[in-house]
Structure 1
Amino acid sequence: MAGRPPSHNSKRIFPAVANPSPEQPDSDSREDARNPPADLSLAERRLVARLDRLWRSESETTLSEERRSIGPYQIIRTVGHGAFGVVFQAIDPRLNRDVAVKVPRPEVLVCYEKLQRFADEAQTAARLDHPGIVPVYAAELAGPTPYIASAFCSGPDLAAWLETHPAANRSCEEVVRFLLPIVQAVAYAHSQGVVHRDIKPSNIMLTALDPAANGDRLGDYAPRLTDFGLAKLTDAPLASSRSSWILGTPTYMAPEQLLPQWGAVGEKADIFALGAMLWELIVGEPPRADQTYSDIIAQLLSEAEALPPLPRADVPQDLRSIVHACVAKDPNERYRSVDRLVQDLEAFLAGERVSVRRSGWFDAFRRWASQPRRPQQICFFAIAQNLVMMIWMIAASLLSWTSLYHGVDPAAVSLQMVSIGLSYNLVTAFLCWLRLYGHKWATTAALVLTILAADLVPILVLTGVMDTFPDMYRDLPYFNATNHVLILLLGLSQTFLFSVSLFADYQQSRREGAGSKLAQ
């Protein structure tokens, strides 16, 4: 929201309006220009496109002498630009070292939310000190042109490298060995209370380990994670973290970043992104490469997995299990923490057994039962089933008065049928209706009622422990057994369905509980 004043607990030091000189270059937190953020309006997207063309042509020319400095840094060249700015390679003359300087674009400077995001990146990255994370050296957030100065990585980003290097020549061990430092860096960030939320190849910078190497193998580079512009501080208030926004790159976004029914965005969103990147490094092309937002949403609403199985036939089963445990649609089915993922990747490289192995049909059933929409689907089915049964019971009682049941007391038939239909079927349908409107306790009540009325009573009758309307079945005893077997089958089916609904509610409470811990 442009022009929104800072909140009372914010410690920002931005000017009210910051209009940079047209001679000063602008920068970004390395947002990939091919994937502009989802919160940009159509007008902003067009402006970004025009600025991209302007700065792309500018980056191909030599900067004039008066435009070579940003703060104390001397600009050498433009190395990247995106939806929020441009990244420059510069020299710090005081220490005689290369640095990467980021400066927000003009439209970012007049939008408080976007400028706040730029400051968040500086403050978040500055608290992290890990060899797998690009360090921040300095930041100026109060001047007319805010900037962030960080370590300069001499190589390309991983996305650019992957475009020119197919996956056919990459072994699975090489991929895991390359990605392991990034996974360790994410685990460290989580231990410091930072969730990245936008892990993707374009945010992985490569530094050549050997300048003499040709750079055709992943092993020729040391990867480092950058761009914490969308990061979430787990100890920050929920309102200041903008967690409700749809942020990130769709190709690598977890289901909960697109659909709130899958839970709050937390550490497991980073696990999904790491798995999606591992999937891409193995396969050679990005997951969801040809899908639109609508395609992705439709897939998440279906029963299909978030990502397809790995198509390469030579991928070991342990590595397939690791990828599957990262990119599971349900956050509860993913690794509990990135530390667990680190341990399994190290075990894979050592030839040891990994902790995640798919057990077949049971895992498939658990995933089916955990779907967020499962309770609503069960309620619709149970309402229809119980209403049909109630109508059948009442119709049977009416038929008894037409002498179709010869030798049977019509009053006894009507009493049994109406009592079952009204006291069980109608009440159960009403409880399911309450559950559709969010009353989760109604599922427990329906399950208890089903066990008592439709499971326990028929079993007691069939085993001879108790009699029901003995005069009614004096001449037709087999009909007594048949009737109660049908009631028992109905009860067992509804007991199963209500149990599944309770399990789905439990899984959803786990997802929401993880989000509550994140927001505290």
Structure 2
Amino acid sequence: MGESFVERPVSTRVRIGRFELNLQTGELGSPDQDEAKLLLPEQPFLILQMLVEHKGKIVSREDIRKRLWPADTIVNFDHSINVAIRNLRKALGDTAESPKYIETLARRGYRLMVETELLISKVGTDSEQAHRAVSLANLADMTGLKVSHYRVLAMIGGGGMGVVYRAEDLKLGRSVALKFLPAEVATDPVALRRFEREAQTASSLNHPNICTIYEIEEHDERPFLAMELLSGKSLNHELENIAHKRMPVSQLLTVAIQICDGLRAAHEKGIIHRDIKPANVFLTLAGPVKILDFGLAKLMEPDADRGREPASSIEPPNSPQPKTSKTDIGLTTSGVRMGTAGYMSPEQVRGERLDARADLFSFGLILYEASTGIRAFSGETAEIIYDAILNTDPPLVRSLNPELPRSLEVVISKAIQKDRALRYQSAARCGTP
């Protein structure tokens, strides 16, 4: 079937100095010079949009983090922002040392140094766009592509560690989800190892309450996961859209039991998730609750070298808890926090070695939020949240929702004890005296 070309509105464009940016497609070019248009990768494109929107005012790194990582996942986003800014400057022919387009303001953020002008749309045949080279760096271009034995149908989500598409498995005739690393982190060895670890970790788990990973593949030097396509909504979305942002007790208990079952299965395999939060819990239309995104999960592996920190993350409950070594295979170094600020355990905040009880603390925070409508620990910045996790005790859940049974309050209070020796020692023990 041949390509068809129809007259349609050309996407809204904005002039940025000598460049023009297509705000729909991410194409950047100079109309005054005979040069090919450049398709900006996703993250530089989003940052440039923010700079344009702010019209010369400062865009803070925190603003960028919130736009690019709306779920607040903290996965060394500083590095990704730096890479995205560097790539954006390269596209504009700009430098940090002698900036003409993007100025860096130390410890504050960035601002656009040139005037911008929104250009009037016109109607015409956009054959140039139809004939442009397909680039995986542009999210919209994925739709309709054949990737390995999959046909990409639509983008269904994305964040700092992956962009997810709905696709058709042409071999087996089934619908799947494909998760790609963002182009600007696909060359980051740490991100690649974390991505591959997610595939290895989750594919070893066969449980009805864990999202199934089918395989890991690569297309044009860009790795992707093929996984179970789920219909439904995240627990985070559910809580945002129900009355008082809290669940009825009967529904909460049903969800809690299934999360706990999924965690038990992972922990028994020697795997801790490290990023349990409402956004990573999925309520399917078919009924089962699924734990998502093992991108921060850590594996238990034997390590015969007693002079090196063991790779194991699941340790006996009474074992000493040294801080993470710089040689740890878990892709962290001492003091690096991995997880999501509002759902971290105290030991995660301190950068210590983790065991299964870190997941159980995060699980308790989910129960707290789902039963009361508020987070146990919150604040304007991550540091304020960290301080609360380490040094303050949230109100008892029944003081916020008197309709809750006392037994549930006991379970939640035990799960979120700051001293992990006082928490449930395994998912199998949750709810027991």
Q: Name 2:295's counterpart in structure 1.
A: 229
Bigger-Rg structure (1/2): 1
Residues 131 and 23 of structure 1: CA distance in aligned 2, closer, same or farther (over 3 Å): farther
Q: Name 1:392's counterpart in structure 2.
A: none
Q: Name 1:259's counterpart in structure 2.
A: 350
Q: TM-score, normalised by structure 1?
A: 0.52
* 3-state SS of 2:410 partner: helix
Q: TM-score, normalised by structure 2?
A: 0.62
Residues 69 and 160 of structure 1: CA distance in aligned 2, closer, same or farther (over 3 Å): farther
Q: Name 1:293's counterpart in structure 2.
A: 382
Shift in Å at residue 316 of structure 1?
Answer: 1.3
Is this contact kept in 1: 2:298–2:330, CA < 8 A?
A: yes
Q: Name 1:308's counterpart in structure 2.
A: 395
Q: Name 2:113's counterpart in structure 1.
A: none
Q: Deviations over 1:436-493 (max 9, x none)?
A: xxxxxxxxxxxxxxxxxxxxxxxxxxxxxxxxxxxxxxxxxxxxxxxxxxxxxxxxxx
- Uncovered stretches (5+) of structure 1, i.e. residues with no partner: 1-20, 210-220, 345-353, 356-520
Q: Name 1:179's counterpart in structure 2.
A: 256
- Give aligned-pair identity as a percent: 29
Shift in Å at residue 43 of structure 1?
Answer: 6.5
Q: Name 1:326's counterpart in structure 2.
A: 415
* 3-state SS of 1:280 partner: helix
Residue type of the alignment partner of 2:395: P
Shift in Å at residue 301 of structure 1?
Answer: 4.9
* 3-state SS of 1:41 partner: helix
Is this contact kept in 2: 1:182–1:223, CA < 8 A?
A: yes
Aligned pair partner of 1:37 in 53, 56, 74 = 74
Shift in Å at residue 138 of structure 1?
Answer: 1.3
Question: Which range moved further: 32-41 or 246-255?
Answer: 32-41
Q: Structure 2: how far apart are the matches of 1:69 and 1:308?
A: 53
Q: Name 1:156's counterpart in structure 2.
A: 233
Residue type of the alignment partner of 2:401: R
The structure with more helix, counted as a fraction of residues: 1
Matches within 5 A, 1:131-170: 131-140=208-217, 144-167=221-244, 170=247
1:47 aligns with 2:84: yes
The structure with more strand, counted as a fraction of residues: 2
Shift in Å at residue 227 of structure 1?
Answer: 0.5
Q: Structure 1: how far apart are the matches of 2:150 and 2:240?
A: 32
Count of residues paired in the alignment:
298
Is this contact kept in 1: 2:367–2:412, CA < 8 A?
A: yes
Shift in Å at residue 203 of structure 1?
Answer: 1.1
Residues 82 and 301 of structure 1: CA distance in aligned 2, closer, same or farther (over 3 Å): closer
Is this contact kept in 2: 1:203–1:226, CA < 8 A?
A: yes
Question: Which range moved further: 176-185 or 154-163?
Answer: 154-163
Q: Name 2:59's counterpart in structure 1.
A: none
Matches within 5 A, 1:396-415: none
Q: Structure 2: how far apart are the matches of 1:325 and 1:232?
A: 24
Q: Name 2:372's counterpart in structure 1.
A: 283
Shift in Å at residue 308 of structure 1?
Answer: 3.1
Residue type of the alignment partner of 1:336: Q
Q: Name 1:94's counterpart in structure 2.
A: 171
Matches within 5 A, 1:170-249: 170-209=247-286, 221-235=287-301, 237-238=310-311, 239-243=328-332, 244=334, 245-249=336-340
* 3-state SS of 1:107 partner: coil
Q: Structure 1: how far apart are the matches of 2:361 and 2:73?
A: 20
Shift in Å at residue 242 of structure 1?
Answer: 2.8
Residues 160 and 70 of structure 1: CA distance in aligned 2, closer, same or farther (over 3 Å): farther
Residues 128 and 206 of structure 1: CA distance in aligned 2, closer, same or farther (over 3 Å): same
Q: Structure 2: how far apart are the matches of 1:168 and 1:25?
A: 32
* 3-state SS of 1:240 partner: coil
Q: Deviations over 1:269-306 (max 9, x none)?
A: 0000110111111112333243422223333453x32x
Q: Name 1:107's counterpart in structure 2.
A: 184
Q: Deviations over 1:297-323 (max 9, x none)?
A: 333453x32x33211111111110100
Q: Structure 2: how far apart are the matches of 1:265 and 1:318?
A: 28
Q: Structure 2: how far apart are the matches of 1:321 and 1:266?
A: 22
Residues 234 and 222 of structure 1: CA distance in aligned 2, closer, same or farther (over 3 Å): same
Residues 301 and 86 of structure 1: CA distance in aligned 2, closer, same or farther (over 3 Å): closer
